[in-house]
């Protein structure tokens, strides 16, 4: 991919309302609730990783502990922190093997006020994105999200799973 990423507008106000007043979306995914039909790319007894529904970049994955943990440092002992970071690294390498990637961004975001469930963002920056559209600009849904069909999401998830298995 070269040049600007093709994005569609994103309703930030509706998203903010849902994340601040709705149930935990990660717990809903872990519980298999039909309202959260995300494409799972990795799962073990303690962790889950799935394609982001509102992806700011092609091939944007969220990884989280299955348990509803809220603080990235205080709520994890050293072994649990190392375990989730191993998952983040494995998924990031599989993502890089699945989509064109100049750099991979890893962030732990969220807030006690919304999206409180601890999760990491794993985002592949495609080659050729102008510098002014990289870094935080590339990650902000406020700048639009990448639209994909369910079939495209399934194919991307399958590619990441294959890379994880390989």
For the stretch 91-103, what's the b/e string if a residue is b when 16 or more beta carbons lie within 10 angstroms of its beta carbon? bbebbbebbebee
Instruction: Name the domain count of the chain.
Output: 1
> Is 4 within a domain?
no
For residue 16, the surrounding DSSP H or E stretch is helix 12-21
pLDDT in tens, 8-61: 998 888 988 888 888 899 999 999 988 887 899 999 999 999 999 999 998 899
Average pLDDT on 86-106 reads 97
The domain that holds 156 is classified in CATH as 3.30.428.10
> Is 19 within a domain?
yes
> Is 5 within a domain?
no
> Is 1 within a domain?
no
> Is 150 within a domain?
yes
> Is 3 within a domain?
no
pLDDT in tens, 52-87: 999 999 889 999 999 999 998 899 999 999 999 999
Q: Say what the pLDDT of residue 20 is.
A: 86
Around Cβ 50, how many Cβ atoms within 10 Å? 25
Task: Write down the pTM of the prediction.
Answer: 0.91
Residue 54 structural domain: 12-165
- How confident is the prediction for the chain on average, in pLDDT? 92
Six-digit token string for 40: 């799972």
């Amino acid at each position: 991919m070269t040049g600007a990423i093709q994005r569609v507008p994103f309703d930030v106000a509706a998203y903010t309302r849902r994340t601040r007043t709705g149930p935990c979306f990660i717990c809903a995914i872990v519980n298999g609730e039909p309202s959260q039909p995300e494409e799972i790319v990795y799962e073990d007894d303690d962790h889950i990783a799935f394609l982001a529904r509102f992806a700011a970049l092609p091939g944007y994955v969220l990884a989280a502990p299955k348990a509803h943990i809220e603080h990235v440092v205080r709520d994890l002992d050293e072994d649990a922190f190392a375990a989730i970071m191993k998952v983040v690294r494995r998924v990031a390498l599989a993502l890089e093997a699945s989509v064109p990637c100049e750099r991979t961004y890893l962030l732990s975001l969220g807030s006690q006020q919304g999206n409180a469930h601890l999760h990491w963002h794993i985002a592949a920056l495609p080659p050729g994105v102008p510098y002014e559209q990289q870094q935080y600009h590339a990650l902000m849904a406020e700048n639009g999200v990448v639209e994909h069909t369910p079939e495209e999401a399934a194919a991307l998830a399958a590619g990441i799973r294959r890379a994880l298995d390989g």
